[in-house]
Chain A
Amino acid sequence: MGTMKRLEYMTILRQKLVDGGLGNDEINDALEFYEELFLDGGYENEEKTALNLGDPEKLAQQILAENGAVGFVRPEYKMEDAINNQGKQTVPPPQPDHNIAPDNRNLAAVILVIVTSVIWGPVLIGLLSGAFGLAVGLAAGIFSIGCAGIGLIVMGGVTAFQAPPVGVLLIGVGLFLIGLGVLIFMPFCKLVIGLFKKFFGWLTRSLKTVFNNVTNNKAVNENG
């Protein structure tokens, strides 16, 4: 009975530490420590040792917390599993297992995105800057029409004293250009701002979707 106590305890502890995503070295280190306590405590005292150590699940959470791990506990894992296994007497002793790796696939995906951003990041930034430059250039061009209009009015004002008809013509053309500039400039600015807003909205939405997919996958992997 005593032996079972140790095996049961160590099996649960190990499972919880693996579930918590603790690194293999840390898991083995902790398991070796507690295994040693059981063995040094003596075969006949294993139940007492288990009692002193307290709930293995709580112990695992404590170890995980000390190591800065999340402390994720697999919900469908049942105490009964360990007890049933114990009944069969076929459970191998909880030898430190170097093959079990925490599920790091999603982390890998995120890292991949971050690493490859070195390549696509500058391209994206370049395209964005290009579009922005074009918009500003066009706006400036339209704005200059208005400026030319003002210039022509001033010129016309001066010329009106020497050659009144030419002066009036220049003032007329100037007013026309200002009107044209205002008419085009305002809607153009609204259009460009609207387009940029739409683009950034789309960008945040798609980033959110990617992020949600990653977290959903993680949940599926951990539950499955």
Chain B
Amino acid sequence: MMSFPISAGLLDSMVLAIVSSEDTYGYEITQTMRKAVDVSESTLYPVLKRLQKSQMLETYDKEFMGRNRRYYHVTTKGAAQLSDYRQQWVEHKEKVDSILMLLGGNKETDKKNKSEEELLPQEA
């Protein structure tokens, strides 16, 4: 079980990232998500609907093996939101890492915190 629950914002941004690299359909999105995080396929429908409602995603249907497949496409608004999410994520990650990974030897943090290196010479 994951100790860190995935927030709605994180789900939105990950789905946006998947669709932004290439227009894709529901099954592929769920499979890609499941490779990285432990989410039920049922969580993703509401996420996709939400992103459509807020005009981050738009859909079109394509025929596949005699049936319809709904493809998702990132709008300009969605792309802008994604880059905003990515920036927020980097900041968030750095802040968390500055505490959580203090012993893990993050190079950037180590350069800034010489004093901590001195305290922990075995990690340098």
Binding site for B on A (CB under 8 A): 29-30, 32-34, 36-37, 39-41, 49, 52-54, 58-59, 62-63, 66
Contacts and interface: CB of A to CB of B under 8 A. Distances in A.
3 nearest A-B pairs in the assembled complex, by CB-CB distance:
A40-B27, A66-B46, A59-B42
A103 B28 CA distance: 36
Given A30-B45, A32-B68, A62-B46, A37 B40 contact: no
A54 B49 contact: no
A54 B27 contact: no
Nearest to A41: B27
Q: Chain A's interface: helix, strand, loop or mixed, by majority?
A: helix
Interface in B1-48: 25-28, 30, 40-42, 45-46, 48
B37 to A, nearest CB: 13
Contact of B41 (A29, A30, A49): A49
B42 A33 contact: no
A36 B25 contact: yes
B70 A53 contact: no
Given A33-B26, A66-B49, A39 B42 contact: no
A210 B28 CA distance: 52
